[in-house]
Copies of this chain bind each other. A is one copy, B any other.
């Protein structure tokens, strides 16, 4: 157990946005909410998964919806408490801790804000090790854990308890309700016991986010190259470097979908990179070569500061470095690829790991 204070939140926000691969929500909003909750309620207990009793009830917390909506419709914190209390009442059992289900600017930070408000610990684990756009895209799902019972709460005070036959139905019904409820809601989801968490989650993710964030901030402070530090921590590779020339973006079926074009600079001069995203960056390619694809991680960093840029933050003229990072091995299994591989998102290619695409398999 260790305590998470304001300094740790600053670091986690950056690392989470980086692992959020362009999605997972605006890191600024998530950070503000967590900082304010710590200001008001004090630091948060972070537990290693080994510290969780096998029979303890854990209820992860998350925001659902297009992050572009959330920028205009900031949650007030009450939605998450309301969702959490509803599921607690329904299950009729005390909740031991909460945790994030994904890495991302909002969804890594909101569970911390909730934990501070409720005086609960947070577990140093999530269900993606990155961000993904759908509820069943979690390692819990690969391990047969149900997304329901699950509660959706909106800022108006509407509240839905779902019990579905599987997590794909949970995703379908929750998504359509979220759109009707205004585009974003807070969830209490995937309630699990400690034993299940240990078997099916990606551990030490908040610590990794914190290390990434700290290394970027330290490098800036010492005028060092922040990107090299990030590549070391994430086993990542530089995919492309250039300047954003075109962004095609629309909010469709509750998702922020689009493509960004990046004109090459440095060793990528005379070349162009296309980034395809659906909340998260899912495929990076040039005219003749795929550079990296889901479920491996693709992130855009600011060339100067090394800070991650979300898909909504991508602006014409921005100078950036695109990096690719290997995903958790659970995502590279046949079942993992079935729910998060390129074909699931409509790209007609087979998954090839970033190590192979970069010709650096031996590393």
Contact = CB atoms under 8 A, between A and B. Distances in A.
Interface of A: 86, 90, 156-165, 169, 172-173, 176-177, 179-181
A86 B149 CA distance: 13
A138 to B, nearest CB: 19
A177 B178 CA distance: 10
A218 B340 CA distance: 64
A173 B163 contact: no
A169 to B, nearest CB: 5
Given A159-B164, A173-B180, 5 more contacts: A90-B90, A157-B165, A158-B165, A160-B160, A176-B176
B169 A164 contact: no
Given A177-B173, A180-B173, A165 B156 contact: yes
Contacts of A90: 90
A173 B156 contact: no
A160 B176 contact: no
A271 to B, nearest CB: 43
Contact of A163 (B158, B164, B169, B177): B158
Contacts of A172: 180
Contacts of A162: 158-161
A51 to B, nearest CB: 33
Nearest to A156: B165
